[in-house]
Amino acid sequence: MKSGTWKIRGWLSQRSYWTLAAIGLAVPLVAWTALSLSDSVNHVFLPGPLDVVRRLATWFSEDRLLDDIGISTFRVVAGWSLSALVALPLGLMIGNFRVVQALLEPLTDFVRYMPAVAFIPLVMLWIGIDEGAKVAIIFIGTFFQMVLMVAEDVRRVPMAQIEAAQTMGATRWEIIEKVIIPSAKPALLDTLRITMGWAWTYLVVAELVAANSGLGYSIVKAQRFLQTDKIFAGIILIGAIGLATDQAFRFVRRLAFPYLYVRG
């Protein structure tokens, strides 16, 4: 590392970056191992990494871990897709037309502060206790944020890009289709990536609703039996799945928008 490392928004080599990233991940792991080996903390409160790995193995071999992952992933992706399906066109309308913005944005702003957990009793009443209820909780948790973010992405399209199309004789729909959507696409993909992360954080809440499978459910059940190692395993699994999804999104971004990565 040369001088300039601490320059604001300074430059860092790929190698230094990944070394630091590895250190950042390794330090908590080492500290955790050391703490659990030192016997100063009760294993019930803080299981060691080995306990967690062992638990993962038995979860996999005896407790249908893959099914839990599968059903949880399904719930998250279903809730998130549903919310994207509605939020994308609605956000596009809010971002493009002041009338729609005035009509819907204050309302959305209001609803998004309501805690998704508090909707559980209502969702159970209205939708029941099947898969639909879990998907609905994740939908409620992500949808309102997503709409506002999509609207903001749309509003950030430079006015000059829109006006240039107008002076070339483009119609309103042509501007939306050929300028605003392609221009906002990278930002929209980022919004989808970020809200996918939020959808995962609502999983545990969603699986409070009469679930009998899933990662969130397993965590809640493990709490009842004081299986802290399983709680750790569940949390780490969700984190790992989230990280993998995030990387997948970044990969797609590079493939889909090559122009963002070219430099003269």
For residues 239-258, which are near other proteins according to CB under 8 A?
257-258
Query: Which of the stretches 43-51, 134-142, 155-163, 203-211 binds other proteins when contact is defined by CB under 8 A?
Result: 155-163
- Whether residue 86 contacts residue 136, with contact meaning beta carbons closer than 8 Å, is answered with no
* Distance between CA atoms of residues 111 and 115, nearest Å: 9
* Binding status of residue 183 toward other proteins by CB under 8 A: yes
Give the DSSP per-residue string, 70-103.
HHHHHHHHHHHHHHHHHHHHHHHHHHH-HHHHHH
- Size, binding site for other proteins by CB under 8 A: 25
Query: Which of the stretches 85-93, 142-150, 161-169, 215-223 binds other proteins when contact is defined by CB under 8 A?
Result: 161-169
Give the total residue count for the chain.
264
* Binding status of residue 171 toward other proteins by CB under 8 A: yes
* Binding status of residue 40 toward other proteins by CB under 8 A: no
**Which amino acid, 8?**
I
Minimum CB–partner distance for residue 11 and other proteins (Å): 19
Minimum CB–partner distance for residue 155 and other proteins (Å): 15
104 or 181: CB nearest other proteins: 181
* Distance between CA atoms of residues 108 and 230, nearest Å: 37
- Whether residue 108 contacts residue 147, with contact meaning beta carbons closer than 8 Å, is answered with yes
* Binding status of residue 4 toward other proteins by CB under 8 A: no
* Distance between CA atoms of residues 183 and 212, nearest Å: 44
Minimum CB–partner distance for residue 161 and other proteins (Å): 6
Handedness of CA 161, 164, 170, 172 (dihedral sign): positive
> Which one of 2, 9, 224, 263 is in contact with other proteins (CB under 8 A)?
263
* Binding status of residue 155 toward other proteins by CB under 8 A: no
- Whether residue 79 contacts residue 142, with contact meaning beta carbons closer than 8 Å, is answered with yes
* Binding status of residue 168 toward other proteins by CB under 8 A: yes
Tokens of 54: 């062992």
List of residues contacting other proteins (CB under 8 A): 158, 160-161, 163-171, 174, 178-179, 182-183, 185, 257-260, 262-264
